[in-house]
Amino acid sequence: MRYGVWFLLGLLGVLVAIPVGMTLVGLFLPSGFTAARSVVLPVPPEETFALIADVPGQAAWRKGLERVERADPPGSAETWREVYQGGRSMTLETTAIDPPHRLVRTIVATEGPFRGAWEYTVTGAAGGGSELTVIERGEIRNPLVRFASRYMFGREAYLDLYLAEVRARLGEAPPAP
């Protein structure tokens, strides 16, 4: 009986120590980060830009995005709320736009563990295609989420998923000879 109690106490100690340790490590990680990824696509820059700038249409090709709701206050920039599977949501605003080359979207809601912006740059590529580069400049305030983002998921995970969905929608340029 005595060994069983010690075993349970030890197990409980380990279960408590793991998230506490992860949080302590997260406290020493920088809250801000920058991540970037690029993809070459077989369509012209105008077509690539049209896809990423079409906010309402994104629910049709982005997995996990259930719907997009306009949330523009009168006289403001384009603002919307992305609603994801499971009820999570994020409110974003277009803070810079230069068709068909550059688009910047910024998280405007202060709730949640993330703050930041995504900068989309579209340039011409060989053969009439385009290259899409996405730069994420973010801040993760919660140290446990910061740890998970750095060591478990990778800071580029969102970018990789997004570009995979863009490739699936527009196709991927064949590799250079």
The CATH number covering residue 86 comes to 3.30.530.20
- Give 59-103 pLDDT, tens digit per residue: 999 999 999 998 877 567 788 989 999 988 888 999 999 999 999
175 in any annotated domain: no
176 in any annotated domain: no
Containing 122, the helix (H) or strand (E) segment is strand 114-124
Residue with tokens 């527009």: 170
Q: Which domain holds residue 63?
A: 2-170
DSSP string, 48-113: HHHHHH-TGGGGGTSTTEEEEEE-PPTTS--EEEEEEGGG-EEEEEEEEEETTTEEEEEE----SS
Q: How many domains does the chain have?
A: 1
177 in any annotated domain: no
- Give 99-133 pLDDT, tens digit per residue: 999 999 998 876 677 789 999 999 998 888 999 99
Question: What is the value of pTM for the model shown?
Answer: 0.81
